Amino acid sequence: MTEADQLTAPVAVKKPHAITAHGHTRNDEYHWMRLSEEQRNAAEPDSLTRAVIDHLNAENAYTEAVLSPVKQLREDIFKEMKARIKEQDISVPYRENGYWYQQRYDTGKEYPIHLRASANSDAWPAENDVAWSVMLDENQLAQGATYFDLGDFEISPNNGLAAYSTDRVGRRIYDIRFRDLATGKDLPDVIEATAGGCAFADDRTVFYSRKDNTLRSYRIYRHVLGTDAANDVLVFEETDPAFSCDVYRSRSNRFVMITSGSTLSDEHLLLPVEEPLGEFRTFLKREEEHEHSVQHVPGTNGAPGKWLIVTNWKALNFRLMECGERETGDKSKWKEVIAHRAEVLLEDVESFRDHLVITERREGLTHLRVRRLSTNTEHEITFNDPAYVAYGGTNPEWDTHLFRYGYTSLTTPSSVYQHDLLTEQNTLLKQQEVIGTFKAEDYTSERIWVPARDGAQVPVSIVYRKGTPIDGTSPLLLYGYGSYGYSIDPTFSGARLSVLDRRFVFAIAHIRGGEEMGREWYENGKMEHKVNTFTDFIDCADHLVAKRYADPKRVFCHGGSAGGLLVGAVVNMRPDRWKAVCAEVPFVDVVTTMLDESIPLTTGEFDEWGDPKEKEAYDRMFSYSPYDNIADAEYPAMLVTTGFHDSQVQYWEPAKWVQRLREHQQSSAPIVLHTNMEAGHGGASGRFERLKEVALVYAFFLEQAGLVKRD
């Protein structure tokens, strides 16, 4: 037995804190762990802040001690993953408004360098051509910061300026600066504490968004370069706490657009770029449960333009409509372009001069369909992997017959293709290079259907290295999410090779709550149907065991954020099913958080989970909330992660959860908490630093699978 085996986990003090709703009282004895934004960022921490930080640091020390037997393995896995990355790398250039743009990574550097060159022909300059000039080096911007994120990067219409936003904390609050691309120097203008997004109307006027104290983006301002940002003009305020807003420039470059949306409703406002000081016009007055996105299409030969609308108006899985530039507010004048289909989810449409490229999802997989407008003929871009994802790439130019798209699968590294819309020919422009011995043919990808307990058929994507036994003896890592209609697609991961090469089977359960099988799939995994998300996941695990993809005693699960809620729920429901689990930045204290509208992002979540001020919703959420349903049980080994500056799921949720879990743990399996004290919801920044957190998770799973010899 090692010293780590004899360690005592940190024990937080208990302070009674009653929370009463609908005549029901809960005692949250760790409620005291909450710190305000001001406390977290104070130069001199108060006594409560010091106590919380000391506790989190003690948890980190305990985690390191418990995992000390795999310290070398963590380092080895990190080196493996880093060694697979092509350190000196460059993206495929794209052309916009007379320039080629691309990103370059230099050896040993964490962040990209943004470059451009004049577009004098259809061919971009060679990689080392002097025509390329540096616009922005994120590595220089990140100097001295333990965390760095570039939020937005916009070029002015005359190509002379770049507006860029940066976050050096991880709280997703950004400062915007403006760089003169001729001199490489920043202008005096600095706009602090924004939501990160911005849009140029002309070369002097820029619009940007701000967040309120709950980190909801709620205001759009106008800034004129050369003026004091303190005097910027408020042009839009979203007063409904369930809505958040953003601003951007239309692809046609004709309008500045404001979009305000909630879970189930959208509203758009527009301003012609030639009227930067004018008033925004509402595209269509907001309607309850009307979700829609809009895209402006320029006119040709002097003709007026039009709007394309992807809408769920009388269309559960969405349809495509169009209308004239001034007919937006009257739906009776909208014309149907693509009808609603019960079996197909319309996800996106990209418009070109003579083509539409339609992204749709059928039987859980994405498809790219091309319609030629002049002939009304169609063709589809075909793919062969059993589980994959394809998506529109960077296509800023409208007047072209060349379409960029991305493609990846569980065995195919991320790839950029160019599709000729006229000849239907595909050209591979770049595929992510995996350094070392990787060969796609050494791995097998499968896609199966799992019958859920109510008869629904759940797709599952699977990958493993050839030679891995599929006879009921291999460890299985099952990943899931199942919320917000967000589809978890079967993408390639170079980091994942470190567990596949050690004979793990990896699977993604495309459970209800996502949108893989269409809008109804999402609707049947939220609100009063939320339990389907959890039972689907358990049913997938059981089925994979029954089909001998997994050793029944070595089934592992992994999820983050709302996927961490999934992990917490299924661990309470079936603690015996899992050998070990990892919940990253998990949303586990559902009822308490949703009752407190001062907590960031709570108000916008009511359409997803329900409003617990209503008793029916309260009872439903309480029935599955991981923090509220812990029982005396033999819980599996658990690794829980969080970020001290997390803006999406506050750090105290996983910190409290771990404390309560340990009190009820009836087995000797460890429950450990790792807090990144310098990051937020996305974990560490930088392409290498974030791999250290991945290595921690994988080493934890490998040890629990018995694949690591322990001293």
Active site residues: 561, 646, 681
Tell me the sheet residues that pair with 682: none
Q: Residue 117, SS3?
A: strand
C-alpha dihedral (532, 533, 537, 539), degrees to nearest 10: 10
Rg (CA), the chain: 26
CA distances from 85 to 72, 633, 682 (A): 20, 42, 20
- Measured CA to CA, the distance from residue 603 to residue 328 in angstroms comes to 29
CB 175 within 8 A of CB 192: yes
- Measured CA to CA, the distance from residue 203 to residue 225 in angstroms comes to 9
Task: Please report how many Cα atoms fall inside a 13 Å half-sphere around the Cα of residue 253, on the Cβ side.
Answer: 13
Burial class (CB in 10 A: 0-12, 13-18, 19+), 288: exposed
By DSSP bridging, strand 306-311 and strand 319-324 are antiparallel
CB 537 within 8 A of CB 478: yes
- Measured CA to CA, the distance from residue 272 to residue 513 in angstroms comes to 38
- Measured CA to CA, the distance from residue 431 to residue 440 in angstroms comes to 12
CA distances from 27 to 31, 614, 701 (A): 9, 20, 33
Burial class (CB in 10 A: 0-12, 13-18, 19+), 584: buried
- Measured CA to CA, the distance from residue 164 to residue 362 in angstroms comes to 38
Q: Residue 53, SS3?
A: helix
Residue with tokens 């020390």: 61
The backbone torsions φ and ψ at residue 585, rounded to the nearest 5 degrees and listed phi first, read 35, 55
Describe the chain by its helix, strand, coil percentages, rounded to 5.
20, 35, 45
Tokens of 449: 């259907």
Tokens of 12: 């937080």
Specify the DSSP class assigned to residue 3: G
With CA atoms as reference, report the closest residue to 321 among 293, 300, 343: 293
Tokens of 225: 């370069």
Q: Residue 82, SS3?
A: helix
With CA atoms as reference, report the closest residue to 281 among 215, 340, 328: 328
Tokens of 144: 């001295």
Residue with tokens 């080493």: 699
Tokens of 459: 């797709």
Q: Residue 55, SS3?
A: helix
Q: Residue 143, SS3?
A: coil
Q: Residue 502: which region, alpha, beta or left (left: phi > 0; alpha: psi -120 to 50)?
A: alpha
Residue with tokens 């001069």: 353
CB 282 within 8 A of CB 269: yes
- Measured CA to CA, the distance from residue 562 to residue 672 in angstroms comes to 19
The backbone torsions φ and ψ at residue 554, rounded to the nearest 5 degrees and listed phi first, read -135, 60
Q: Residue 167, SS3?
A: strand
Residue type, 557: C
CB 320 within 8 A of CB 333: no
